[in-house]
């Protein structure tokens, strides 16, 4: 896995190692790995823009499947579009080329709801629909989906992709996206009983709790190739606004208060779907989420309060 030290990678690696054996799952990233990744299996430094190093690692360690999580996310991408281009487009190109040349078994590269744009229907957005994103991140995700699907047809590379919605998790902080507020709000609710949100109160977006994110990723990796009509899939578990999640948190912390100071991320959010139709994922590989807003909120508060030692 590339980008293993990020929000999704840290928790996905743990589950992959539990299932397939620690030695069989290699974590790679650019920095010193967090403790969680150092205990059960190998980790190496790898910058995905270092193509020679990437090829050498794939050959030396006899890698069959690459999960390419290294990415620059939406908000960071708007601050530095050139970095988003290099990391996301050139990084994915390197990975897909390596899979083609080395005849690897499978390549999983996440996409995002950011692959949709303002001209995409916003409610119950279909799997196959117009995609004209207006962020650097979104443009890079459309490239990844289309280049990956081209490699399926042209070279028989087994490329698969999930259009993750906003991912909420308790272990590793998010890496600079537009849905980060839905994680920050829990830390602030527990620490200060107050949160100032960088999106407007009615900014509805599709979301998913980390256990469902991990489940969807492993289910798609393990799906029989013959069953896949699509290669890039909408996946979702819930949709809510900042006002909705604040109301849900208030059920557990009655004196919690939310304030709104929308910044540049509000414009990004407005260009994305409000809810997703994930019927293709349900039909082709049996996708079915476990957590809705109420179940996720309860679990996040319980897990975080234990970890941070804060009662509520």
Q: Enumerate the active-site residues.
A: 137
**Residue 260 bridge partners (DSSP):** 197
**Residue closer to ligand NAD, measured from CB, 49 or 295:** 49
**Residue closer to ligand NAD, measured from CB, 111 or 312:** 111
71 touches ligand NAD by CB under 6 A: yes
User: Most distant CA pair in the chain: distance in Å?
Assistant: 58
116 touches ligand NAD by CB under 6 A: no
Site size for ligand NAD, by CB under 6 A?
27
Binding mask 123-162 for ligand NAD (x = CB under 6 A): ----------------------------------------
Which of 22, 34, 36, 49 is close enough to bind ligand NAD by CB under 6 A? Answer: 49
Rounded to whole angstroms, how far apart are CA atoms 208 and 239?
A: 8
Shortest Å distance, C-beta 237 to ligand NAD: 12
| CA gyration radius, the chain | 19
Whole-angstrom CA distances from 72 to 31, 48, 217, 256 are 15, 12, 19, 32
112 touches ligand NAD by CB under 6 A: yes
48 touches ligand NAD by CB under 6 A: yes
5 touches ligand NAD by CB under 6 A: yes
Which of 1, 25, 27, 29 is close enough to bind ligand NAD by CB under 6 A? Answer: 29
Q: Say how many CA atoms lie within 13 Å of 312 toward its Cβ.
A: 26
Rounded to whole angstroms, how far apart are CA atoms 148 and 126?
A: 20
Q: How buried is residue 176: exposed, middle or buried, by Cβ count under 10 Å (0-12/13-18/19+)?
A: middle
Backbone angles phi, psi at 18, to 5 degrees: -65, -35
User: Of 66-74, 149-157, 284-292, 298-306, which part binds ligand NAD (CB under 6 A)?
Assistant: 66-74
Binding mask 162-201 for ligand NAD (x = CB under 6 A): --x-xx------xx-x-x----------------------
Shortest Å distance, C-beta 257 to ligand NAD: 25
Rounded to whole angstroms, how far apart are CA atoms 262 and 140?
A: 25
Residue whose pair of structure tokens reads 């270092």 in the numeric block: 50
Shortest Å distance, C-beta 73 to ligand NAD: 5
In the 8-state DSSP scheme, what is residue 65? E
Enter the tokens of residue 145: 């989906």
Question: DSSP 3-state helix, strand, coil percentages of the chain (rounded to 5)?
Answer: 45, 15, 40
User: Of 7-15, 19-27, 97-105, 303-311, which part binds ligand NAD (CB under 6 A)?
Assistant: 7-15
**Residue closer to ligand NAD, measured from CB, 172 or 279:** 172
277 in Cβ contact with 125 (< 8 Å):
yes
Residues that bind ligand NAD (CB under 6 A): 2-3, 5-9, 29-30, 47-49, 69-71, 73, 87, 91, 110, 112, 164, 166-167, 174-175, 177, 179
């Amino acid at each position: 896995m590339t980008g293993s030290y990020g929000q999704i990678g840290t928790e996905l690696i743990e589950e992959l190692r539990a299932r397939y054996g620690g030695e069989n799952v290699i974590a790679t990233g650019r920095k010193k790995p967090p403790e969680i990744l150092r205990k059960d299996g190998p980790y190496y430094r790898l910058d995905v823009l270092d193509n020679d190093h990437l090829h050498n690692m794939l050959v030396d360690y006899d890698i069959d499947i690459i999960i390419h999580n290294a990415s620059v996310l939406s908000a960071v991408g708007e601050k530095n579009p050139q970095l988003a281009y290099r990391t996301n487009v050139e990084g994915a190109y390197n990975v897909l080329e390596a899979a083609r040349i080395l005849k690897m078994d499978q390549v999983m590269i996440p996409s995002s709801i950011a692959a949709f744009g303002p001209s995409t229907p916003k409610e119950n957005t279909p799997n196959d629909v117009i995609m004209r994103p207006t962020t650097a991140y979104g443009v890079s995700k459309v490239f990844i989906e289309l280049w990956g699907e081209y490699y399926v047809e042209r070279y028989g590379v087994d490329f698969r992709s999930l259009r993750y919605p906003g991912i909420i998790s308790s272990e590793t902080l998010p890496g600079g996206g537009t849905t980060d507020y839905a994680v920050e709000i829990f830390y602030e609710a527990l620490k200060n009983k107050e949160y100032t949100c960088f999106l407007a109160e009615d900014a509805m977006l599709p979301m998913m709790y980390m256990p469902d994110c991990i489940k969807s990723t492993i289910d798609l990796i393990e799906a029989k190739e013959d069953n896949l009509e699509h290669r890039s899939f909408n996946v979702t578990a819930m949709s809510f606004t900042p006002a909705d999640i604040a109301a849900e948190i208030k059920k557990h912390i009655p004196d919690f208060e939310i304030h709104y100071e929308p910044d540049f991320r509000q414009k990004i959010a407005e260009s994305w779907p409000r809810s997703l139709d994930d019927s293709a994922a349900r039909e082709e590989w049996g996708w079915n989420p476990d957590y809705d807003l109420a179940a996720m909120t309860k679990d996040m508060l319980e897990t975080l309060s234990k970890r941070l030692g804060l009662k509520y």
